Amino acid sequence: MISMDTKTIDEAVELAKFEQKIANEEKIEPSDWMPEAYRKNVIRQMSQHAHSEIIGMQPEGNWITRAPTLRRKAVLLSKVQDEGGHGLYLYSATETLGITRSEMIEALQSRKAKYASIFNYPTLTWADIGAIGWLVDGAAIVNQISLQRTSYGPYARAMVRICKEESFHQRQGYEIMYELAHGTPVQKQMAQDAMNRFWWPSLMMFGPHDADSAHSGQSILWKVKRESNDFLRQKFIDQSVVQIEVLGLELPDPEIVWNEERGHYDSGPIDWDEFKRVINGGGPCNYQRIKHHKKAHQEGEWVREAVRAYRLKQQTKNVA
């Protein structure tokens, strides 16, 4: 009985310290006490982010062998490689919360964990690589810049480093779009079509509207999320409309119009039924993405085996 009371008091003291740190804008570090719900919340967000980096390699990897020039091939190759690096970096950062990488991979492959639903759409033409770099990496940057101030230290620091690379990703995508949009009529049409297809899924990347977002309230209080979904989405729309004008393409949404009073662009309604269908497995490529991940993971078993054998050898050596 006494020990229970002591535990409760200890926890209350720890919780007060934790909340004070959050209020002071101090980072929570792996060795710090944190509420279980905070730990779970950050694990969910970081592992989903890591999975998105890794699964996102697939739609772009599809075009490495078909890039139109050697320069484009080299750029795309290094971009996709960066995404792999982001994924691994984030898996390691998530492991500091007491979950293993194998557990995260298992959650991804059994579809318990989600990843950005935009990667369940196919890349049909070369212009899709432009649209992805420009819009998808662009939306990711808007989100990730705000996450540089997230309350969990390893996540915040990972974002600083990752954002630097993301800005190159966006530029390479925009450069592809710019060249196509100023090329032949067929190329311009290709750019228009790619933008039209990726526009709506890009807006969905910010998640449901604030009023319908299941995890938003607590995440904002704990400063895991620093800005609301709708705020970030609006920021993305405002910056993209100007970029579309520079490209000389038609707006992908006829309802986009400048609202003088709000100082922002208004836009049409998002098809949330499509979002739910795709995030729950009903998108054009969900099955293919996970199937490919499992295959690659199985084929990589020999590497993990070799790492285990090497570690064992080192341990035996040290004992001897």
* Spatial separation of the C-alpha atoms in residues 4 and 15, rounded to whole Å: 16
Smallest gap from residue 166 Cβ to Fe ion (A): 5
* Spatial separation of the C-alpha atoms in residues 77 and 81, rounded to whole Å: 6
Interface residue list for Fe ion (CB under 5 A)? 53, 83, 86, 137, 166, 169
| Whole-angstrom Cα Rg for the chain | 22
Smallest gap from residue 116 Cβ to Fe ion (A): 10
Smallest gap from residue 60 Cβ to Fe ion (A): 9
* Spatial separation of the C-alpha atoms in residues 85 and 79, rounded to whole Å: 10
Amino acid letter, residue 157: R
Closest to 195 measured CA to CA, from 241, 128, 245, 248? 128
Smallest gap from residue 137 Cβ to Fe ion (A): 4
* Spatial separation of the C-alpha atoms in residues 198 and 244, rounded to whole Å: 13
Smallest gap from residue 299 Cβ to Fe ion (A): 23
Other CB atoms within 10 Å distance of the CB of residue 270: 17
* Spatial separation of the C-alpha atoms in residues 320 and 316, rounded to whole Å: 6
Q: Which residues pair with 265 in a beta bridge?
A: 258
Residue closer to Fe ion, measured from CB, 86 or 293: 86
Residue closer to Fe ion, measured from CB, 170 or 267: 170
Please give the structure tokens belonging to residue 58.
């697939």
* Torsion angles phi and psi, residue 29, rounded to 5: -105, 160
Residue closer to Fe ion, measured from CB, 146 or 189: 146
Residue closer to Fe ion, measured from CB, 57 or 249: 57
Residue closer to Fe ion, measured from CB, 169 or 233: 169
Smallest gap from residue 144 Cβ to Fe ion (A): 8
Residue closer to Fe ion, measured from CB, 83 or 227: 83
* Torsion angles phi and psi, residue 184, rounded to 5: -70, 165
Smallest gap from residue 56 Cβ to Fe ion (A): 7
Residue closer to Fe ion, measured from CB, 35 or 61: 61
**Residue holding tokens 């690096």?**
85
Closest to 199 measured CA to CA, from 288, 147, 138? 138
H or E element at residue 265: strand 264-266
